């Protein structure tokens, strides 16, 4: 019979047992469950609720159970229903009455959300570490390729020349925002619900701030009904994971495109590529494609949790058992994607010559030539039209803007002088964009300094969370 079976006359059937059990999922939270139980036991002892010798027996018994689980020597039984009952049942079997006192002043409702919050905090820290590693890899690749020029795109058409370092740093900024979202999810989870009991608190003289301190929570929850039913922190984690996967998918898409024969901008490392079972020449960017594909499941995890929480009355409902599997999956998937992307970025080879050949196509100097006329007094809309005519002329001749003679320019406007030739130098065009956040190398230097400082600060902050 289950530990809660006092008012029941028969056991739950096998199908219902399997359907209702969360053990296959929440056994992954055994460390958090044991930590929460040890903190609760010590607090009960300090408050004189249970004898000191029982506290010692409980803590030592839980340590032995954790060692058995980690050694693979613990027999999980689906009839235990969840990790909480599995551990408590084994503890009672091992140490007797002392183990039966552990649940004093506690419900599985506050116990499960305590475990889940501890899990969320741990996974946020691990994801933040993986985020920092990827950002570091992108910054390093940007440093190595400060002078490499490539086409910047809008609508997947050549637009203006940019430096590769600038392009890569755009992703660094995306992932820096992801770090902040993970940090916010950590802070949302950093609240101790233990002591809320089933929904209304308890008559025992519990010291909730002691368990908060024992477990490393920043504060205690302020409403017992809210405490046992709140899963907003998991929504925050799932949302942070979803947005980060969206950013990873964007980068993965570019790696897939850039590694094609049509682009040839990069060569993926063999260690992060696969071959074909039939075509010997193939080198496929499978892992980038998988990152792109796994985004869907992480976003699905978020949507599933949102729908689960919709319309739930206060306080605890069995629906909330569905909160963990998606969040666990989202965190695991994101971590795998971050680590794989880091490996790909660190080991890919940049083909600067291919980028240089590509940037020469598409008349990327057009905007600057229009600006040249505007700076000489021509209204920009008229300048836009003039340069459009010059581009059309190039298309008809099958040449580039830098192939045109001065006479060709003057045929469109007398404002053109000899110095217009300099306006077709693509490297100079990119370098001239010195506005804050621009692609010019001096602007990139400022940006690079800022991202290094941000990486360092985020690393220091993460270290403080690990202590």
Contacts of 280 (CB under 8 A, 6+ apart): none
**Nearest-angstrom CA–CA distance, 76 and 96:** 19
**Nearest-angstrom CA–CA distance, 410 and 418:** 10
Q: Are 43 and 214 in contact (CB under 8 A)?
A: yes
Count other Cβ atoms within 10 Å, centred on residue 189: 24
Place of tokens 């469109």: 412
Residue 389 annotated to the active site: no
Q: Catalytic pick from 107, 196, 276, 384?
A: 276
Please give the distance of CA 204 from its chain centroid, rounded to a whole number.
41
Half-sphere exposure of 446 (CA within 13 A, CB side): 10
| Radius of gyration over every alpha carbon of the chain, rounded to an integer in angstroms | 30
Q: Number of H helices and number of E strands within the chain?
A: 19, 6
**Nearest-angstrom CA–CA distance, 381 and 392:** 17
Q: Catalytic pick from 155, 261, 277, 464?
A: 155
DSSP letters spanning 152-220: EEETTEEEEEEEHHHHHHHHHHHHHHHHHHHHHHHHHH-EE-TT-TTTT--SS---HHHHHHHHT-SEE
Pairing of strands 349-350, 266-267: antiparallel
- Enumerate the β-bridge partners of residue 221: none
Backbone dihedral angles phi then psi of residue 325, each to the nearest 5 degrees = -60, -45
What crossing angle do the helices spanning 232-258 and 164-189 adopt, rounded to 10°? 160
DSSP-H helix ranges across 351-440:
352-359, 366-375, 380-397, 406-410, 426-431
Count other Cβ atoms within 10 Å, centred on residue 204: 15
Host H or E run for residue 17: helix 14-20
- Residue of 45, 24, 70, 2 whose CA lies nearest to 37: 45
CA distances from 331 to 65, 86, 236, 309, 368 (A): 26, 25, 12, 19, 46
Residue 452 annotated to the active site: no
Residues catalogued as catalytic: 155, 276
């Amino acid at each position: 019979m289950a530990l809660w079976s006092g008012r029941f006359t028969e056991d739950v059937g096998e199908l219902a047992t399997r359907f209702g059990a969360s053990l296959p999922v929440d056994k992954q939270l055994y460390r958090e469950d044991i930590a929460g139980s040890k903190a609760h036991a010590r607090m009960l002892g300090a408050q004189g609720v249970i004898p000191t010798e029982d506290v010692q027996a409980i803590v030592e018994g839980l340590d032995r159970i954790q060692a058995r689980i980690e050694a693979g020597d613990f027999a999980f039984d689906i009839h235990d229903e969840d990790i909480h009952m599995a551990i408590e049942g084994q503890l009672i079997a091992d140490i007797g009455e002392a183990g039966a006192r552990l649940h004093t002043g506690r419900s599985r409702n506050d116990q499960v959300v305590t475990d889940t919050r501890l899990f969320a905090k741990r996974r946020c820290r691990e994801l933040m570490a993986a985020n920092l590693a990827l950002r570091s890899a992108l910054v390093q690749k940007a440093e190595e390729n400060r002078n490499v020029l490539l086409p910047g795109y809008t609508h997947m058409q050549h637009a203006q020349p940019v430096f590769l370092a600038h392009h890569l740093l755009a992703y660094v900024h995306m992932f820096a925002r992801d770090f902040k979202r993970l940090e916010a999810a950590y802070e949302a989870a950093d609240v101790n619900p233990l002591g809320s009991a089933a929904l209304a608190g308890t008559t025992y003289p519990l010291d909730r701030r002691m368990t908060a301190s024992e477990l490393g929570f920043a504060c205690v929850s302020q409403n017992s009904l809210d405490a046992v039913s709140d899963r907003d922190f998991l929504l925050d984690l799932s949302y942070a994971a979803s947005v980060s996967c969206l950013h990873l998918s964007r980068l993965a898409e570019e790696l897939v495109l850039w590694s094609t024969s049509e682009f040839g901008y990069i060569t993926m490392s063999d260690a992060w590529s696969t071959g074909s079972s039939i075509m010997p020449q193939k080198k496929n960017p499978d892992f980038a494609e998988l990152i792109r594909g796994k985004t869907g499941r992480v976003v699905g995890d978020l949507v599933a949790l949102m729908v689960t929480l919709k319309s739930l009355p206060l306080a605890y409902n069995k629906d909330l058992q569905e909160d963990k599997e998606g969040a666990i999956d989202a965190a695991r998937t994101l971590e795998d994607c971050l680590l794989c992307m880091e490996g790909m970025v660190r080991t890919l080879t940049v083909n600067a010559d291919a980028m240089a050949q590509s940037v020469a196509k598409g008349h990327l100097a057009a905007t600057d030539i229009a600006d040249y006329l505007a700076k000489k007094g021509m209204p920009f809309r008229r300048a836009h039209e003039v340069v459009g005519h010059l581009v059309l002329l190039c298309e008809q001749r099958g040449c580039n803007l830098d192939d045109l003679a001065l006479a060709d320019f003057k045929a469109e406007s007398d404002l053109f002088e000899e110095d217009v030739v300099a306006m077709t130098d693509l490297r100079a065009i990119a370098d001239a964009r010195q506005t804050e956040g621009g692609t010019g190398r001096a602007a990139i230097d400022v940006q690079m300094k800022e991202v290094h400082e941000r990486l360092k600060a985020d690393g220091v902050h993460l270290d403080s969370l690990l202590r």
